[in-house]
Structure 1
């Protein structure tokens, strides 16, 4: 292995070590950006979480994107093939030069109003799944820019290697996807008997509770399942708990 390859491998491993030790995204990303710029060398990096439009990008150097630049990007990025690749396409690591010539890039309004302002003459961009935000699937787009030489095949390979590990780490650190509220054990028992066609009186007799208590359990269960009737509750419970169809012993 050449000396340059050894240096590149050490830089990739530094990113991997940081990801393994990470405990939350908020503290991870500021430490991660300089290491990513070491593993895939560039002059600047943009880390742009996307869950709707609520997340703001982080950059190195800091303050790379002013409000005016961000507004111009929002207006003009739809015509940028590299942006489409990362936001709507597969998001695999891609060099801008693979998608368009230098003259095609310079002809973009986004080049004049965005990229030229921070010297992004060459770019390598990728995106990856990063958990959920408020129940919405979330991804992170990463763009590394250079003023001079283009990115090499080794740079693309390094980015591809890191992409999988970045996605895995971000999914691990993300809050769990929200699910339906949990019903209690007694509410579960009531719903199971309801799904088998028993009346409230029969449920009460089977569980040795009063019909009024059955009513209360169903009231709470309806709210948790977001239903308003016995039929809706039975259908929702059978969808969630197919075992409710098993005959009672």
Structure 2
């Protein structure tokens, strides 16, 4: 576990989240690199029946370590999640156990449909589940999975501290976002996170997602996510429109990539 990098970079990302920027993809990448995982996710579940399960609309889901889930896989999760004993524990317990193996007999779980169809294909045998936010009818869950080994106590303690910081930052960011909406402000390039600004400036230079990914040391999937977030925050409907807005609104930062 690279605790020093997790602390240093994690603190910076929490500041971005508190400012209302979508840094979750980078948070998941950081966890995967520093902790060592096969899969990391952050999902928001809405209450349904006695268990938090996705409703008519799929929950907010950010993944690192696997391809985006297909509609078929999402439907399978919708159907089988209520049968997952650790999911039920996380949803119903105010202070849930952080490890699947703390409450679930792993050999028994491995014989279930939810494991065979949803977990095994992604190498998701051992799970560490961390609550980022909990409210009536709502649960925001950060999950880390490994295939070959469980999460030891020191790692779990570090992850619990990290999750508390991320959860607090998300709540601050949501509150500030609500205040901005009340003020009637129109989102522009100034609301972009530093990473989104870098991506926007490179789009303005005509670089492709693959070229941006190589330049910044990211995956193309992460670049696409930053680009989608930049569209949402600025109201741009295309790469061309984003590039035009960037040049018009932040001409003084047009050469931002020179320092990258």
TM-score by length of 1: 0.60
d(CA) in 2 for partners of 1:177, 1:59: 23
**Contact 2:133 2:167 (C-alpha < 8 Å) held by counterparts:** yes
Specify every segment of 5 or more residues in structure 2 that has no aligned partner in the other structure, as ranges.
48-54, 183-260
- How many residue pairs match? The answer is 170
Shift in Å, 1:111 = 0.4
| 2:115 counterpart (111, 114, 118) | 111
Is 2:130 aligned against 1:126?
yes
| Counterparts of 1:91 and 1:120, CA distance in 2 | 23
1:24 and 2:20 aligned = yes
State whether structure 2 residue 58 is matched by structure 1 residue 90: no
Residues 67 and 122 of structure 1, relative CA distance in 2, 3 Å threshold? same
Partner secondary structure for residue 40 of structure 1? helix
Superposed CA deviations along residues 150-178 of structure 1, whole A, max 9, x for unmatched, are 11111210111012111110101114798
Tell me how far apart the structure 2 counterparts of residues 137 and 170 of structure 1 sit (CA, whole Å).
Answer: 18
Give the aligned partner of residue 80 of structure 1: 84
- The alignment yields a C-alpha RMSD, in angstroms, of 2.9
Secondary structure of 1:49's counterpart equals strand
What is the aligned partner in structure 2 of residue 244 from structure 1? none
Partner of residue 72, structure 2: 68
Q: Is the 8 A contact 2:45 2:140 kept in 1?
A: yes
Distance 1:115 1:79 in 2: 13
The structure-2 alpha-carbon separation of the partners of 1:96 and 1:150, relative to structure 1 and needing over 3 Å to count, comes to: same
Deviations along 1:14-37, one digit per CA (max 9) or x if unpaired, are: 212210233324x31122111122
Q: Aligned pair 1:35/2:33, yes or no? A: no
Larger RCO (CA under 8 A, 6+ residues apart): 2
Aligned to 2:164: 164
Deviates more, 1:141-150 or 1:63-72: 63-72
- Classify 1:78/1:51 alpha carbon distance in 2 versus 1 (closer, same or farther; 3 Å): closer
The aligned counterpart of 1:56 is 60
CA contact (8 A) 2:40 2:145 kept: yes
Q: Secondary structure at the match of 1:129?
A: strand
Contact 1:78/1:84 (8 A) holds in 2? yes
* Structure 1 gaps, min length 5: 183-249
Deviation (angstroms), 1:137: 6.5
